[in-house]
Amino acid sequence: MAEEKKADAQKADKAQPGKAPGAAAPAAKAAPAAGTAPAAAPPAEKKKPKPSARHGGSAKAARRRTRKKKSQIQARRRKEFTYRGHTMEELLKMSLAEIIELLPARARRSYIRGFNPEQEAFVHRLRRSDKPVRTHRREITILPEFVGKTVLVYTGKEFAQVDIKPEMIGHALGEFALTRKSVAHSGPGVGATRSSKFLPLK
C-alpha cells in the first residue's frame, strides 16, 4: 500500500516539468473575484497600559495607589431607622396591640398584663406634656410614641435626663439612667501593704 502511494507521487513529479522531485505543491492562492473589495484585516486588540504607565512612577507605587483608592470609604447615605422591619412612620400608625407583638418577650408580657395606676399616670402625663416628665418607674418599656420626648428618670439619688431616640424602642427607661458609677482607685492606703504598716501618719 505504501509502495503504491510512493509510485504515484513519483509519476506526478515527472508529469510536472521544472519541479524538483519530492517537492510539495504550493498552495494555490485564491484570487479575489472581480468587482469585490479586498477583505479588511481584523482590528488589532488594544493593549491595556501598564499600571506604571497609567499613574506614573513605578509599578509597585501604582498598585499601592490603586489599592488605596479602592479602600477609601465613600460617604454613604444614612440608612433609615427600622424596628423589626418597620419604619418610624409605620410604627406610629400601628395600634398598641400590634406594637406589643413586635416587642421582646419580657416587655410584651408586661404590656399584656396592663399598667398599674402609677405607670398609667406617667404615660398619660408624657402624652400630654411637651416638657420633661419626672418618673420613678424605671421598668417602663419605651414605645414608639415616646420618641422625641424627654424623661427625668430617678436613679436613687437624682433625676437623670433621658432624651428618647428611635433606637431605644423596646428597652426599659432604667437602662439609660445608671444607678452606679465606675470605681476608680488612686492607690493603696496606709497599712494596706507590709512596707507601709509602720509609716507615721503625719
Position 146 scores a pLDDT of: 95
Q: Where are the alpha helices (DSSP H) in the chain?
A: 2-15, 51-55, 59-71, 88-93, 96-102, 105-113, 117-128
Give the full edge-to-edge strand order of the sheet including 133-135: 133-135, 150-154, 159-163
Q: Considering the domain delimited by 82-176, tell me its CATH architecture.
A: 2-Layer Sandwich (3.30)
> Tens digit of pLDDT for each residue in 6-33?
666 666 555 555 554 544 444 445 555 5
Position 66 scores a pLDDT of: 83
The single-letter code of the amino acid at 41 is A
Position 125 scores a pLDDT of: 95
Position 15 scores a pLDDT of: 56
Which residue stretches of the chain have pLDDT < 70? 1-57, 73-77, 191, 197-202
Position 64 scores a pLDDT of: 85
Q: What SS3 state is found at 158? A: coil
The single-letter code of the amino acid at 153 is V
Position 195 scores a pLDDT of: 72
Position 52 scores a pLDDT of: 47
Q: Where along the chain do its domains lie?
A: 82-176
